């Protein structure tokens, strides 16, 4: 049995196919909920685990003879990246240690040419060059060097491992649109002029890297490193090779290196501020200008490694792009780091095959309306609420219309209810694309009249359950590089409302958490939004009145249909933004609080007395 981590990525898909051709039995380790479209139809066993969670990896190592460790994050952005460091360094150390303890026969670790020190131009780079954990080139280089040294430390403790260092990987099988070079090939395939950077690098076919890894496993010497390079070629020649294949040569304009270097500071800043896709960074430019005289002589002589010409790779890549129905062909799909498409506010997301959507509070009102709309758009919807009868009726309605729905009757006021939602999604093994936190309730009246158990229940459902679901599902979404969390808030969260003090506070919590997460996750491919409706024509107000000591409030006369709110939520899925007031005119409410809060302080008591006398 062969275990491949990172099996769903570009190189992983190529390696899995190489191993299948060799008759190997394969176990593919992927993140929970990760996109595995590149493995569909292949005879592989897929297991879900996280390299940062050793307990989840141990079962995957049972009965394994060989481990290929590919899982990692690539980044061309400057500065520190905690997630990349965790995955690349800690994750690799975990896999190497667990592989040693499991007694695997051999481990092959995919490092990078960037893990090696960068000698002066003109000096050939080979395996005599040491790993440089203090590289000044970039954080990615340092993490791969540290990870390589961590593997060698386990070798000293008894692990049989070899390390391969590929150069710039290009080629087919990029099913998820995660390769920046394949994205660039797609751009060069389009007619018209193209701006290119004047520089050179060594590029290698992904299939040759996969073959080199198999050879390293079979013939490599324990504890040795092998460079898997291809051919040194200029960016202009790469672009020309693509255009020759598509028979549509366009003008190629070389951007002077110094000008590009100055511009890279602005593109990087723009990317960080606005979440736009970064086209090039100082790190990428310095890589093209650095020493790229790279030798694979050791791999040729000891392993029998023989890479193909780059022009052949370009030709095959163009053909694969043309022959593959690729939803990421536009190059706009959201991915973290060099995964594609960092989207800004108001940009439309690319068309993606609908996956799993979880809707809380789905038994009625906004939740039920959202569930219907998501199911009609192809999502597999998990309906959650307390009232099973209503959920079953809604599920039957969705199924009769040709949709997919499942029911989970659970009480989110209890921690075990929240856990049940997470576990049900995990049982499906399909990850999660959309989480709509619609569950919640309110209470109207003087806070001094509110029963303590009502206050506790409101905080648990409106806030605690929402926060727990987010922190449970967020790692899954971040691991996949996409997802959307939509929290149903209220205009009451934007203006502190007497007679609804706690309810306003819980919705303010939702707004604040949404805003913070929106900023925290910007550029990750994962979006967090809040919908802030005014009064909605649901059973909300009847429930409020039915609660112990609760008062009625005359707001339904201003109410809108839950379908209007549901339509706004669906709109956010296509054009993500931090918040949306429904109807739009309510976006003035926060400014009313800011500008006239002092007046509300003085007149609110008179309205409260009137409300109390008429309740």
Nearest to 484 by CA among 328, 364, 374, 614: 374
Cβ–Cβ < 8 Å for 16, 5:
no
Question: How far is the C-alpha of 102 from the C-alpha of 99, rounded, in Å?
Answer: 5
Nearest to 51 by CA among 25, 78, 36, 73: 73
Strand 26-30 and strand 483-488: the pairing is unpaired
Q: Annotated catalytic residue: which of 68, 140, 482, 503?
A: 503
Question: How far is the C-alpha of 517 from the C-alpha of 506, rounded, in Å?
Answer: 17
Question: How far is the C-alpha of 259 from the C-alpha of 425, rounded, in Å?
Answer: 50
Active site residue 503: yes
For 588, which DSSP code?
G
Which class for 400: exposed (0-12), middle (13-18), buried (19 or more C-beta within 10 A)?
exposed
Instruction: Give the side-chain half-sphere CA count within 13 A for 568.
Output: 26
- Token pair for residue 412? 């989110």
Question: How far is the C-alpha of 518 from the C-alpha of 520, rounded, in Å?
Answer: 6
The CB density around residue 554, as the number of other CB atoms within 10 Å, is: 11
Q: Angle at CA 361, nearest 5°, toward 389 and 455?
A: 115
Q: Which positions ≥6 away from 573 have C-beta within 8 Å?
A: 349, 434, 484, 486
Angle between helices 282-289 and 257-274 (to 10 degrees): 150
Angle between helices 465-480 and 415-428 (to 10 degrees): 20
Question: How far is the C-alpha of 506 from the C-alpha of 530, rounded, in Å?
Answer: 13
Q: Which positions ≥6 away from 398 have C-beta within 8 Å?
A: 371, 372, 375, 381, 404, 405
Cβ–Cβ < 8 Å for 47, 29:
yes
The per-residue DSSP string of 341-377 comes to ----TTPPPPP----EEEEESTTSHHHHHHHHHHHHT
Q: What are phi and psi of 102, to 5 degrees?
A: -80, -10
Cβ–Cβ < 8 Å for 27, 51:
no
Angle between helices 365-376 and 562-574 (to 10 degrees): 50
Q: Which residues are catalytic?
A: 503
């Amino acid at each position: 049995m062969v275990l491949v981590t990172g099996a769903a990525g570009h190189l992983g898909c190529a390696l899995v196919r190489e191993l299948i051709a060799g008759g190997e039995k394969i176990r593919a380790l992927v993140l929970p909920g990760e996109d595995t479209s590149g493995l569909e139809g292949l005879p592989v066993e897929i297991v879900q685990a996280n390299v940062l969670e050793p307990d989840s990896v141990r079962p995957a190592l049972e009965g394994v003879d060989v481990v290929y460790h590919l899982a990692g994050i690539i980044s061309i952005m400057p500065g520190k990246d905690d997630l990349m460091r965790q995955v690349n360094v800690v994750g690799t150390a975990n896999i190497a240690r667990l592989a040693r303890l499991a007694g695997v026969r051999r481990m092959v670790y995919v490092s990078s040419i960037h893990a090696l020190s960068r000698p002066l131009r003109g000096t050939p780079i080979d395996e005599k060059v040491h790993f440089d954990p203090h590289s000044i080139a970039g954080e990615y280089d340092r993490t791969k060097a540290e990870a390589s040294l961590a593997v060698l430390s386990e070798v000293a403790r008894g692990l049989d491992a070899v390390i391969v260092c590929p150069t710039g990987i290009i080629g087919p099988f990029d099913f998820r649109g995660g390769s920046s070079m394949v994205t660039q090939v797609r751009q060069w395939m389009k007619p018209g002029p193209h701006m290119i950077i004047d520089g050179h690098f060594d590029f290698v076919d992904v299939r040759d890297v996969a073959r080199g890894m198999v050879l390293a496993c079979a013939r490599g010497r324990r504890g040795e490193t092998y460079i898997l390079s291809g051919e040194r070629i200029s960016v202009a020649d790469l672009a020309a090779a693509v255009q020759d294949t598509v028979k549509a040569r366009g003008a190629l304009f070389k951007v002077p290196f110094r000008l590009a270097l100055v511009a890279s500071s602005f593109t990087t800043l723009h990317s960080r501020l606005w979440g736009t896709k970064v086209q090039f960074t100082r790190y990428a430019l310095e890589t093209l200008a650095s020493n790229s005289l790279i030798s694979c002589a050791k791999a040729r002589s000891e392993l029998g490694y023989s890479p193909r010409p780059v022009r052949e790779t370009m030709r095959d890549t163009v053909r694969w792009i043309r022959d593959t129905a690729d939803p990421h062909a536009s190059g706009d799909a959201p991915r973290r780091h060099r995964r594609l498409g960092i989207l800004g506010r108001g940009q439309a997301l690319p068309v993606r095959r609908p996956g799993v959507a979880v809707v809380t509070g789905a038994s009625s009102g906004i939740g039920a309306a959202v569930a219907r709309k998501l199911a009609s758009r192809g999502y597999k919807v998990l309906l959650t609420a307390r009232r099973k009868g209503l959920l079953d009726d809604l599920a039957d309605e969705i199924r009769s219309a040709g949709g997919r729905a499942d029911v989970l009757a659970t009480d989110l006021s209890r921690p075990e209810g929240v856990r049940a939602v997470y576990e049900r999604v995990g049982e499906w093994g399909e990850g999660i694309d959309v989480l709509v936190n619609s569950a919640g309730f309110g209470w109207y009246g003087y806070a001094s009249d509110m029963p303590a158990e009502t206050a506790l229940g409101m905080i648990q459902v409106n806030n605690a359950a929402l926060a727990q679901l987010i922190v449970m599902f967020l790692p899954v979404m971040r691991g996949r590089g996409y997802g959307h969390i939509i929290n149903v808030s209220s205009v009451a969260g934007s203006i502190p409302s007497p007679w609804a003090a706690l309810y306003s506070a819980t919705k303010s919590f939702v707004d604040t958490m949404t805003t913070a997460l929106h900023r925290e996750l910007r550029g990750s491919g994962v979006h967090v939004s809040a919908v802030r409706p005014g009064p909605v024509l649901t059973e909300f107000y009847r429930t409020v009145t039915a609660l112990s000591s609760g008062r009625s409030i005359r707001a339904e006369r201003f109410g809108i249909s839950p379908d209007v709110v549901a339509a706004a939520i669906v709109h956010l899925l296509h054009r993500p933004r931090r918040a949306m007031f429904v109807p739009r005119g309510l976006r003035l409410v926060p400014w009313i609080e800011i500008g006239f809060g002092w007046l509300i302080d003085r007149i609110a008591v008179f309205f409260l007395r009137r409300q109390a006398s008429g309740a």
